[in-house]
Chains A and B, each alone.
Chain A
Amino acid sequence: MRDYIIKRLLFLIPMFFIVSFCAFVLINASAKEPAMIILEAQGVPTITQELINETNAKYGFDRPFMVRYLDWLENAVKFEFGNSFVTKKDVSKTILTAFVYTLQLAIATTVTTIVFSLILGVFCVIWEGRKFDKITRAFMFVISAMPSYWIGTLSVWLFSVKLTWLPTSGVGSLKNFILPTLVMSISYCGFYFRMIRNSMLENTNENYVYFCRSCGVGEKKIIKHILRNSLQTVISAFSMAIPGMVAGTVVIENVFAWPGLGRLCVSAIYSRDIPIIQAYVLLLALFYCTFNILADIINAAVNPKLRKA
């Protein structure tokens, strides 16, 4: 198992180089001169050739491509991405602050999703084919088919404007977490609860269940066994969902004015704030890789057969 973990972690090193090169090349592959992009990002009303030359010299764009890449890479390893073209603030700090907000939301959503998916999944299996199962599935089917910005707006209207229970948007208190977490969890719950339910139902027909029953093991204990055996696919799918949550919260962050990574990246794209975009791409790619490896390790821990692969 130790060798397997080391092997998987070593895999991160070539991935880092590939991703960093892609992030750097793609941004620099723009048809526009980088100096022009910077000046536009800084809102200069009229851009002259002299200004472009001056900016090229200031930011070192007149140096060869590989020299610039290696410089950038050296700094990226130290988690230094320079300053934003627009705000002039340290990109690492800006990204980290936004990342923490998004991570908080992702963790809250993950916990809520796991709790609700498990509860609903287990009870739907216990009461399979009964009213609870039918209503839950119908409700989750309808609600998870709705776009999250729409549910978000509806929930703000209901809980903030009409009932005045919760703030409409922003961060600052625990109350601010409720609506965005709820809205994000709804779409994930619809998927994971069904996954747990199906996986558990498949397991109920396994031989070990019949064996347990024939031995007189209590129903609660049997459900526990079924659940444990059903979780493998769910864990694997969920491990990949966490980086997805971090990367894909743009809509929710916009609806709830949440100062997270998604909003930061979208505004950076609009204003062509290249240092932020590069740092975002690199971090998210590494985050995905790490979680992918984490999922492999968890699966390998659960199923020893996979360690040989």
Chain B
Amino acid sequence: MKKATCLILALILSLSLVACGTNSASTGPSASPEAAQTAAVKKDTLTLAIPKDIADINVHLYTGSMVAQGMVFEGLVQNTAEGVKPCLAESWDVSSDGKAYTFHLKKGVTFTDGQPFNAEAVKANIDAVQANAERHSWLVLCKKIVSCDVVDEYTVNLVLSEAYYPTLTELGLTRPYRMMSPSTFINGGTKDGVSSYSGTGAYKLDEHVTDQYAVFKANDSYWGGVPGIKTITMKVMPAGETTLMAFKNGEIDFLFGTYASGMIDADSLVSLENDSKYQVKFSDPCATRFLITNSNNERLISDKNIKQAVWYAINREEMCKAVFSGLETPAQTVFDKTIPYCNVALDARNYSVDKAKSLIEASGWKLDAKTGYYTKGGATLSLEFVYNSSVATNKTIGEFIQANLKEAGIDVKLTPVESTTVQQVRSAGSYDLYLDSSWGRPYDPQSSLTALFAAGSYLNSVSKLSCFNDLDTWVNAALVTTDEKERQDYYTKILQALQEECCFIPLSYSRVSIATSADLKGLAFSQTQYEVPFKDFSY
């Protein structure tokens, strides 16, 4: 009996060891015969894994997958690395006071349901979004639009209450200002849903089985030319081993995501990168991971010296290596220098435990040799660190920072919060440090900065900053000025104030990764981390 048990145990153990070893040592097993045959015949299909269902992709609401919305719906303009470029609008004129935008629309474009795209359709879409303005309160443009008027069949005039420089950028965002066929509107609008998903994009939704898959077919009458990849299937897969094995088995041939939202871990990405069967690409830094500090006086972190000490005590280089396997890069400013208006010289606070300790001591704290933490008047220097527990990486980041700050004599209490209550905790400001990310390009810097003044966002945490009123004035002035130099000056002042006050403690710049088969050509990234330019891909 004992012998038999030992034998079975040994067999299972060896099997599992071999299986576990495949992650790093595997040279990539050959795809299944069926999968290989499929790949040989159909070189115009792509199957990607997605962590959850695409849901309702009504682009005027927020429940649907942005990747899917980006494939089906287009805006008047598009955000590119070279700035805002034409999309459904061929060109535009801006009035000298910056309050009126006249768009000259592309002719001959039709929605996938056969309806023509024209000025009436643009007006119907913009009016539908404005009819649900409260839902889009995060977007400043929504508050500025006064009307959308039809000039002629292919010309529309967008009237704003005052000049707003990110108008074009925000019109090009994935949502809410993209165009859906007005014939699909319900009750004359889109806030109660749409009868079907009909856009002008390179793809159309062909089949959707909730929680299983969604199939997108190329739009044969696409104005920009029929894309090389004719069929894209999005399969709902659990993140982790199953997806990695399905990828190696050839059942999935495209993985996409940031480190936090990625379907496979960093080590697996690195192992795929070393395998000639696959290609792994990383985008430029696209968003910033940071800690928001609470400026409320009853919080210990409101002391500027303590904020600075936290900044100095975090070893970002080590964090990027240990936590992100080198897939993210250390950040010393809240926005990367390549973000518009953010190429400003700001003082870095490089890792230095001694510097952190001297700053804490300058605020009257004494190191307790027994506990290893600073104390003042019997109270320990203890900070509450809140993070969204549904993102697995957040816990690791929290633990890394906890260990770093312990070295500097700061106690960190980690408080995981479910994703469903995170927004409530954030807006209530019940934390010392809150782990978050910027929305990335093209939302940065304007949308991330306006979030500072939104009650549902960071307002409670930053309203006690000594420079709060100045920040408010500068941000508003930067958004409405039509003078480019003046705007840059405002942004310089804003970024300097934020850096000086340690309002955000930057941690790292995140990137988007793509893993796919080696023969897929034209791989590129969109300006936003939430979309993939599938129409440019081909075999």
Contact = CB atoms under 8 A, between A and B. Distances in A.
Interface of A: 32, 36-37, 40-48, 50-51, 54, 86-89, 94, 97-98, 134-135, 137-139, 141-143, 146, 150, 153-154, 156-158, 160-162, 164, 167-171, 254-257, 259, 263-264, 267, 270-272
Contacts of B113: none
Nearest to B451: A46
A98 to B, nearest CB: 7
B289 interface: no
Contacts of A264: 211
Residue of B19, B61, B237, B455 with highest tally of chain A CB at under 10 A = B19
B interface, how many residues as a size bin? Answer: 35 or more
Contacts of A54: 134
B55 A161 contact: no
A229 B52 CA distance: 49
Interface stretch (B357-365, B370-378, B418-426, B478-486): B418-426
A154 B8 contact: no
Interface hub of B22, B138, B209, B210 (most chain A Cβ within 10 A): B210
B103 to A, nearest CB: 25
B211 A48 contact: no
A51 B135 contact: yes
Contact of A169 (B210, B246, B420, B451): B246
Given A168-B249, A259-B236, A87 B134 contact: no
B166 interface: no
B238 A157 contact: no
B248 A45 contact: no
A28 B362 CA distance: 50
B245 A50 contact: no
Contacts of B61: 42-43
A158 B249 CA distance: 11
A88 B1 contact: no
**Residue of A48, A137, A161, A171 ringed by the most chain B CB atoms within 10 A:** A161
B457 A46 contact: yes
Contacts of B12: 142-143, 146
Interface in B449-492: 451, 454-457
A257 B248 contact: no
B44 interface: no
A87 B242 contact: no
Interface string B307-337: 0000000000000000000000000000000
Interface in B1-55: 1, 4-5, 8-9, 12, 15-16, 19, 22, 29-33, 52-53, 55
Contacts of B53: 87, 267
A259 B245 contact: no
B245 A160 contact: yes
A168 B238 CA distance: 12
